[in-house]
């Protein structure tokens, strides 16, 4: 079963110019990046999206970020956009970030991390860690509380969020209060039933995943590293509480749910939800009403982190 919006979205993808789809003959990366931003801006302006009290552009140690925040001091969640490590931008996840900030009362910071293939692994990874360090050093002047931020992201952004949480644990660095992984890519070399079941016609084709993986991690030997494939980490104990959201008709569904299961087995509190009738890109609120439910769920969890209640 597919939601009508999902069917319509997939029908639209069938008409997409091959030049805009990674892995297809004639793919034009520069054009795909331009078109992605323009299409999202057009959709965002076609319907009203609430704006938090503060919306600003920041230079976080040389990395451009978009900040969406309420008035007064607020906790921070870093939102890492998807796009196969090669596409996407803070502008394209802005509708999600605006809604999340308004509904949760948290500040949302979306960094413009460097993209592959020009900047392969570990460039994006290092950029996000750099933003976190900068944020912790500038939280007072920004009227933010970044002592224990949350990590969130979709698809490739969720991959980065999970990997950064792992490395912070391994280095004994300050922890994060939450990792919210939406339709995550957590195993770049695994073989999962959902990848076969939804290989064609569901918006994330094998050639696209293969191109994106090769662009981000050009050396195959690196693809099993935990910083690239978090599901392959020897241990996932001691990680922050997690929210894992998967889509029923998504090639990445099974690896996301496998990661949630490993976290739970290791004793990490996990909320894992499979969104029925949804496809991989349902996290876009300019196209899918189901994204609103997802944002409500994440906002509720963030509010619980802010106000854990009586012991």
Q: Among all residues, which ones are annotated catalytic?
A: 155, 250, 280
| Number of CB atoms found within 10 A of residue 45's CB | 10
Q: In this structure, are residues 100 and 106 in contact, taking their beta carbons and an 8 Å threshold?
A: yes
Q: Which residues contact 46 (CB under 8 A, 6 or more apart)?
A: 286
List strands edge to edge, sheet with 270-279: 54-60, 63-69, 107-111, 74-80, 144-154, 178-182, 242-249, 270-279
Q: Which of 144, 137, 20, 26 is nearest to 86 (CA)?
A: 20
Q: In this structure, are residues 152 and 161 in contact, taking their beta carbons and an 8 Å threshold?
A: yes
Q: In this structure, are residues 175 and 241 in contact, taking their beta carbons and an 8 Å threshold?
A: no
Q: In this structure, are residues 75 and 145 in contact, taking their beta carbons and an 8 Å threshold?
A: yes
C-alpha distances out from residue 300 to 84, 162, 223, 258, Å: 28, 20, 34, 24
Q: What is the largest CA-CA distance in the chain?
A: 59
State how far the Cα of 299 lies from the Cα of 283, in Å rounded to an integer: 14
Angle at 148 between CA 63 and CA 284, to 5 degrees: 60
Q: Which of 110, 26, 112 is nearest to 69 (CA)?
A: 110
State how far the Cα of 16 lies from the Cα of 110, in Å rounded to an integer: 27
């Amino acid at each position: 079963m597919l939601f009508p919006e999902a069917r319509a979205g997939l029908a639209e993808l069938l008409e997409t110019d091959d030049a805009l789809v990674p892995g297809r003959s004639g793919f034009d990366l520069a054009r795909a990046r331009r078109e992605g931003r323009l299409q999202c801006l057009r959709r965002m302006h076609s319907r009203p999206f609430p704006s938090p009290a503060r919306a600003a552009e920041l230079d976080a140690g040389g990395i451009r970020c978009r900040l969406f925040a309420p008035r007064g001091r607020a906790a921070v969640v870093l939102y890492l956009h998807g796009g196969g490590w090669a596409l996407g931008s803070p502008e394209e996840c802005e509708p999600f970030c605006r809604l999340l900030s308004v509904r949760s009362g948290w500040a949302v910071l979306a960094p413009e991390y460097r993209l592959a293939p020009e900047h392969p692994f570990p460039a994006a990874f290092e950029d996000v860690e750099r933003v976190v360090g900068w944020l912790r050093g500038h939280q007072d002047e920004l009227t933010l509380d970044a002592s224990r931020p949350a990590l969130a992201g979709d698809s490739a952004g969720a991959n980065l969020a999970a990997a950064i949480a792992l490395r912070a644990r391994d280095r004994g660095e300050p922890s994060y209060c939450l990792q919210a992984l939406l339709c995550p890519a957590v195993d770049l070399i695994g073989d999962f039933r959902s990848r076969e079941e939804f290989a064609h016609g569901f918006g994330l084709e094998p050639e696209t995943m293969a191109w994106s993986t090769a662009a981000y991690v050009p050396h195959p030997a690196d693809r099993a590293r935990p910083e690239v494939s978090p599901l392959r980490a020897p241990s996932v104990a001691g990680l922050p509480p997690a929210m894992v959201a998967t889509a029923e008709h998504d090639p990445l569904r099974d690896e996301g749910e496998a990661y949630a299961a490993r976290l739970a087995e290791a004793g990490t509190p996990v909320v894992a939800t499979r969104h029925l009738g949804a496809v991989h890109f349902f996290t876009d609120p300019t196209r899918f009403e189901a994204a609103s439910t997802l944002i409500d769920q994440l906002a509720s969890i963030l509010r619980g982190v802010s106000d854990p209640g009586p012991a």
